[in-house]
Amino acid sequence: MERKSRTVVPKERVDALGTREQLLRYLKLMVLIRRFEEKAGEMYLRAKIGGYLHLNIGEEGTVVGSVSALEERDYLYTSYRDHGYAIARGVNPKAVMAELFGKATGCSQGRGGSMHLFDARVHFLGGYGIVAAHIPVATGTALAATYRGTDEVTMCIFGEGATNIGAFHEGLNVAKLWRLPVVFVCTNNIYGMGTAVNRASAVSEIYRKACAYDIAAERVDGMDVLAVRDACLRGVERARKESEPTLIETMTYRYRGHSMADPARYRSEAEVRWWRERDPILTLETKLKEQGMVTQEEMDDIEANVERVVEESVEFADRSPAPSLDDLYKNVYAESEGR
Ligand SMILES: Cc1ncc(C[n+]2csc(CCOP(=O)(O)OP(=O)(O)O)c2C)c(N)n1
């Protein structure tokens, strides 16, 4: 195909945001995650995917911004709203889709499904269905890094609903007490299932909860991938250099219901529209077009490539085998054979 023309951008302008290569990577990843999620929703409706399916369409700025602050040696934990995080961390989209289909080729060998994606090879340690339960587990991984004397950082993603649960407070308390290299990222999408944050939490500005543990905290625009990346970079650096925890609250929104089963009637169309106007993909795309860093032709190429990757992931998942009955007892106990 013919190469598209590209505007040359003054270096200082690029440096303020990141390199062109970095910025395009964020854009491509956000588009991939968006289209992957839309396709997963479609596959769920076609009964190719069973169980639960929680999409994070609308939250891609937070997903890509937070994960891009990590180095390869760092660790990532998330809640059940995990597909985008797994992809951003480097899990092959084919292995993610296959896991959603419950197939043996899935990243959790078909045993986890949507909520329990896992891939130790890229230090993606799940995928947790119990709200806030992974916060102490992630804190433990940060403790392990200090024991081993490494400079690995652990990042833990959870919703604002998780911050009303004891495990959140236990995790933050121990993280500060023992000075652990962990970055807690609260994706405040305003609703925990159908309950608005101000109806469930005595303090609805979540970052303020960190002061109870004397932990550094900030709130950022979660629809702006660069703002999220920068805040997370500050947290990661604090963890790596000073061995201190951070709490970051990203203000974001899921355009769809809590899960595929939720028609989301508890919020107004005007509210959804307000957030859609701040769409993270559109925001970055507009910024890059204004700076002459991407053309419409290049955007079309990105969309076409992403469509191919997503289609291939569905084909792969569809023709993959179901887990074998012979493997039923694998990985049930620590000593049983497994990956
Ligand atoms: C301990 C626990 N209580 C209740 C549930 C049921 N539940 C699943 S998701 C959810 C809402 C969580 O909201 P939030 O933490 O804000 O995350 P979001 O879904 O918005 O990403 C609840 C109550 C659960 N999975 N675990």
CATH number at residue 72: 3.40.50.970
Tell me whether residue 4 is in a domain: no
96-136 pLDDT tens trace: 999 999 999 999 999 999 999 999 999 999 999 999 999 99
pLDDT at 15: 61
Split into its structural domains, the chain has a count of 1
- Residue 13: pLDDT band (50, 70, 90) is low
Tell me whether residue 185 is in a domain: yes
Tell me whether residue 10 is in a domain: no
The domain of 297 spans: 18-315
- Residue 18: pLDDT band (50, 70, 90) is confident
Residue ranges lining ligand 1, Cβ < 6 Å: 79, 81, 129-131, 158-162, 189, 191-193, 258
| CA angle at 87 for the pair 300 and 271, rounded to the nearest 5° | 70
Helices (H), the chain: 11-17, 20-45, 60-67, 83-89, 93-100, 134-148, 166-177, 197-200, 225-242, 269-276, 280-290, 296-319
Tell me whether residue 238 is in a domain: yes
Tell me whether residue 321 is in a domain: no
Whether 209 has a pLDDT exceeding 80, the answer reads yes
Tell me whether residue 335 is in a domain: no
pLDDT at 207: 98
pLDDT at 3: 42
Q: If you measure from the C-alpha of residue 291 to the centroid of ligand 1, how many angstroms do you get, rounded to a whole number?
A: 40
Tell me whether residue 26 is in a domain: yes
Nearest CA to ligand 1 atom 7: 131
Tell me whether residue 328 is in a domain: no
306-324 pLDDT tens trace: 999 999 999 999 999 999 9
272-293 pLDDT tens trace: 999 999 999 999 999 999 989 9
